[in-house]
Amino acid sequence: MDPITIGLAFSAAQMAVGQIKQAIALGKDINGIIGFVGKFFQSADAVHIASIKAKHSSLGKSDVELGQQALVFAMHSNQLREDERALKDMIIWQLGKPEIWEDMVNERTRLLKEKREAETAVEKANHEHKEKMARLGLIAIYVMSFGVCFVAFGMLGVQAYSILQEQKQYEIKQAIHAKVKAQQQFERELQQKKELDAYTKPNN
């Protein structure tokens, strides 16, 4: 909540107090001010919550800004506490309804507790969800890495198989070539022997 919005919430709380005082002065009973009372507490709670959140968002602010912020929140909180005490006195002593004030405070405390518990539960659920997504992301990275390695090994295996097949084909070709050469050599030697026999035969 920005400073302008906080200022508006504080002004709304002050206005509600003024409306309560005016209504009581005009002779209104508890039913005639209950709406203004609700408006006061709603606005006061907004200021208090903003004050708490501001304490956890001091990064980026100068010392002067933090000092001004602390002073404003302190003044607002002090005034709202005084307004709440004045409101309590009006309801108990001027309207004669101490039980209404007690019941209202108890109910407000219960509602605030339930709200905080619900907010805590939501924050916990969001945190657990983020952790779960982080774990799933890590698992996905592992799976992808394994898949990449598996594909890489597969490609290496295919490449190695191709090399072995090429080597085998080369050796077969070499063997065939050697066999052909040996056959040709044999045929040449045979031919030479025949020619030699033919040449030497008439002389016998």
Residue 52 included in any domain: yes
Mean pLDDT confidence for 190-200 = 68
171 is written with which tokens? Answer: 């050796």
**Higher-scoring residue by pLDDT: 131, 58:** 131
Has residue 124 got a pLDDT over 60? Answer: yes
Mean pLDDT confidence for 50-61 = 65
What confidence category does residue 82 fall into, taking pLDDT thresholds of 50, 70 and 90? very high
Has residue 102 got a pLDDT over 80? Answer: yes
Residue 139 included in any domain: no
On average, the pLDDT of the chain sits at 80
Mean pLDDT confidence for 186-191 = 74
**Higher-scoring residue by pLDDT: 63, 78:** 78
Full residue range of the structural domain in which residue 32 is found: 3-96
DSSP for residue 91: I
What is the per-residue pLDDT across 131-181, written as a single tens digit (0 to 9) for each? 888 888 888 787 887 777 777 777 887 787 888 888 888 888 888 887 878
pLDDT at 199: 66
pLDDT at 166: 85
What confidence category does residue 203 fall into, taking pLDDT thresholds of 50, 70 and 90? low
Residue 41 included in any domain: yes
- Count of CB atoms situated within 10 Å of the CB of 41: 19
Share of the chain above pLDDT 90, in %: 3
Total structural domains within the chain: 1
173 is written with which tokens? Answer: 């070709």
Cα within 13 Å of Cα(27), Cβ side: 0
Tally DSSP H helices, then E strands, for the chain.
Answer: 4, 0
Residue 66 included in any domain: yes
pLDDT at 57: 63
Structural contact between residues 51 and 9, judged by C-beta atoms closer than 8 angstroms: no
Has residue 85 got a pLDDT over 60? Answer: yes
Q: How far is CA 73 from CA 5, 37, 60, 179, in A?
A: 13, 22, 19, 102
Structural contact between residues 5 and 32, judged by C-beta atoms closer than 8 angstroms: no
Residue 34 included in any domain: yes
Residue 130 included in any domain: no
123 is written with which tokens? Answer: 């924050």
Residue 53 included in any domain: yes
Full-prediction pTM beyond 0.75? Answer: no
pLDDT at 15: 92
pLDDT at 149: 75
Residue 85 included in any domain: yes
What is the per-residue pLDDT across 34-55, written as a single tens digit (0 to 9) for each? 888 889 988 888 887 777 776 6
